[in-house]
Amino acid sequence: MSHRLIAHSSDLLKLRNEGLHLGILNGYLHIRDIPYVTSAGVVREDGVLVSQLETTVANGHEVAAKPTKHVAYWIGEHPCHANGDKIRSFENPSGPEDLGGGLKSTFTFSAKADYRDYWHKMRAYLGWIVGEAQKLRPEVKAETFPVYATDEDDDDVFHYIDTAASRVHIAADNEKLEGHRVAIVGVGGTGSYVLDLVAKTRVAEIRLFDGDTFDPHNAFRAPGAWSLGELEQKKSKVDNLFDIYSKLRRKGLVKHSVPLGPDNLHLLEGVNFVFLCLDAGKPKRATVDWLVAHGISFIDVGLGIIRGPNGLQGIVQLVSSTAQKRDHIDRRMSFGDGAEEENEYETNIQIAELNALNAAFAVIRWKRFLGFYRDAGKECFSSYQIATGELCNEEQFG
């Protein structure tokens, strides 16, 4: 299948976005899993509608042209009305035909009309065929929303097509993230949620850093679920998440099952952005100093929760820094290791929804830097008070 051809053809893309099982093979457009009525009055859901696909070139891309042929092909028994009588409005006397590539039609249909595009043509035939099936079984439909594997020769970062973007017309916005290389330092709690969100973007590379194993308590503050047997494997956090998100991404995940510190900061060379999701301490200070020296933007996430008489309370904090603003780092970021300074919020209480919220704040801020979202606030420090729901934004740049 040529996903590029579909992506550049509004009529074909519309058919796919509507959930039809669309394919292109040997110059033929086909839609599978179509419900229809047989002569026995039984509804089957394995019909295949096929049309010759005519193309042209527009703006440097091959696209579907306006169809000049009204004929369509069918693989399956002849579609019938709900009472078992043949649908004769488009019946054609032509017999079976081998279309190549495994497509062997059993019938040819002919419904003459001036079809605007392939959406118009295929929907016309589907309306006649599926409508009769729905008279017997109202729940059946041709919109099965299948999974589409990416083309083998495609340079896509995913194993299958991101139909979520095309359905809501944000594919062009997603392109703003292409080519970027990010690192996530610490993938235990908040970092695992950052990965969950960033992995679903079109960034070229995601480097993962963490030296710890994935233990049972981690399963309660990370996205997803793990079986007892999986936890007993004692994988590293990085290996565990790499295995999960490799099911989505076919390229770009880079794993480093080591803590990041002064001796291996060269592993960050080449990245455009870093999410710091690690505890305060000397490694964090060394990492920040290296990022500043190399002109790399970053976001530091922080979570502080304490027990109060009326429930848990605390803050979710975000410190962002770009080459345009560095002067707030020392006054906003915590670099203590607990022994050097007393902080009532350094309790390391981790709760999944707060980890997820912290990660969402971080990824949204990063996407605003890249222009995916409008960035009117230009803040480099945000804090969310859990008890009051108040969100405070400070340290504007520009």
CATH number for the domain spanning 183: value is: 3.40.50.720
What pLDDT sits at residue 398? 72
Helix (H) or strand (E) holding 393: strand 391-396
Same domain flag for 121 and 168 = no
Residue 342 pLDDT class (50, 70, 90 cuts)? very low
Residue 153 pLDDT class (50, 70, 90 cuts)? low
Report the SS3 class of residue 83: coil
Same domain flag for 51 and 167 = no
What pLDDT sits at residue 232? 97
Long-range contacts, stretch 54-60, CB < 8 angstroms, 24+ apart: 55/5, 58/8
What pLDDT sits at residue 25? 85
> Distance between CA atoms of 206 and 261, rounded to whole angstroms?
18
- Which domain range does residue 84 map to? 3-136
Strands 379-385 and 391-396, bridge-based pairing: antiparallel
> Distance between CA atoms of 296 and 309, rounded to whole angstroms?
42
Report the SS3 class of residue 101: coil
Average pLDDT over residues 108-137: 97
What pLDDT sits at residue 95? 84
- Residue position matching structure tokens 């058919």: 15
What pLDDT sits at residue 163? 75
Same domain flag for 129 and 70 = yes
Residue 151 counted as domain residue:
no
Q: Give the rounded percent of residues in the chain with a pLDDT score beyond 90.
A: 80
Give which of 61, 60, 47 is closest to 12, Cα–Cα. 61
Same domain flag for 34 and 102 = yes
Residue 340 pLDDT class (50, 70, 90 cuts)? very low
Residue 287 pLDDT class (50, 70, 90 cuts)? very high
- Residue position matching structure tokens 């579907």: 64
First to last CA, the chain: 47
By mean pLDDT, which of 149-163, 168-182, 273-287, 378-392 is the weakest? Answer: 149-163
By mean pLDDT, which of 120-124, 166-170, 189-193, 360-364 is the weakest? Answer: 166-170
Residue 365 near residue 318 (C-beta atoms within 8 A): yes
Q: Is the pLDDT of residue 151 over 60?
A: yes
Give which of 134, 8, 23, 128 is closest to 61, Cα–Cα. 8
Same domain flag for 80 and 211 = no
For residue 322, CA distances in Å to 294, 295, 365 come to 11, 8, 12
Decide: pTM greater than 0.85: no
Q: Is the pLDDT of residue 369 over 60?
A: yes
Same domain flag for 226 and 373 = yes
Average pLDDT over residues 63-87: 96
Q: Give the rounded percent of residues in the chain with a pLDDT score beyond 70.
A: 96
Same domain flag for 41 and 97 = yes
Same domain flag for 287 and 361 = yes
Average pLDDT over residues 140-167: 83
By mean pLDDT, which of 80-84, 90-94, 206-210, 240-244 is the weakest? Answer: 90-94
Q: Is the pLDDT of residue 217 over 70?
A: yes
What pLDDT sits at residue 345? 45
Residue 155 counted as domain residue:
no
What pLDDT sits at residue 165? 80
Residue 158 counted as domain residue:
no
Residue 339 pLDDT class (50, 70, 90 cuts)? very low
By mean pLDDT, which of 37-46, 163-172, 323-332 is the weakest? Answer: 163-172
Residue 63 counted as domain residue:
yes
Residue 141 counted as domain residue:
no
Q: Is the pLDDT of residue 57 over 70?
A: yes
> Distance between CA atoms of 165 and 17, rounded to whole angstroms?
10
| DSSP codes of every residue in 288-336 | HHHHHHTT-EEEEEEEEEEEETTEEEEEEEEEEEBTTB-TTHHHHS---
Residue 109 near residue 73 (C-beta atoms within 8 A): yes
Instruction: Give one word for 45, left, alpha or beta, with left for phi > 0 and alpha for psi -120 to 50.
Output: alpha
Long-range contacts, stretch 305-308, CB < 8 angstroms, 24+ apart: 305/345, 305/347, 305/349, 305/351, 305/354, 305/386, 306/344, 306/345, 306/347, 306/349, 307/349, 308/387
Average pLDDT over residues 207-220: 96
- Average predicted confidence (pLDDT) for the chain: 93
What pLDDT sits at residue 159? 87
Average pLDDT over residues 272-300: 94
Residue 145 pLDDT class (50, 70, 90 cuts)? very high
Residue 153 counted as domain residue:
no
> Distance between CA atoms of 153 and 338, rounded to whole angstroms?
52
> Distance between CA atoms of 216 and 240, rounded to whole angstroms?
12
Residue 343 pLDDT class (50, 70, 90 cuts)? low
Tally of domains in the chain: 2
What pLDDT sits at residue 341? 45
Q: Is the pLDDT of residue 338 over 60?
A: no
Same domain flag for 123 and 208 = no
Q: Which residues of 178-197 are buried (b: 16+ CB within 10 A; e: fewer)?
A: eebbbbbbbbbbbbbbbbbb
Residue 336 pLDDT class (50, 70, 90 cuts)? confident
Same domain flag for 188 and 129 = no
Residue 143 counted as domain residue:
no
Residue 152 counted as domain residue:
no
Same domain flag for 208 and 311 = yes
Same domain flag for 270 and 375 = yes
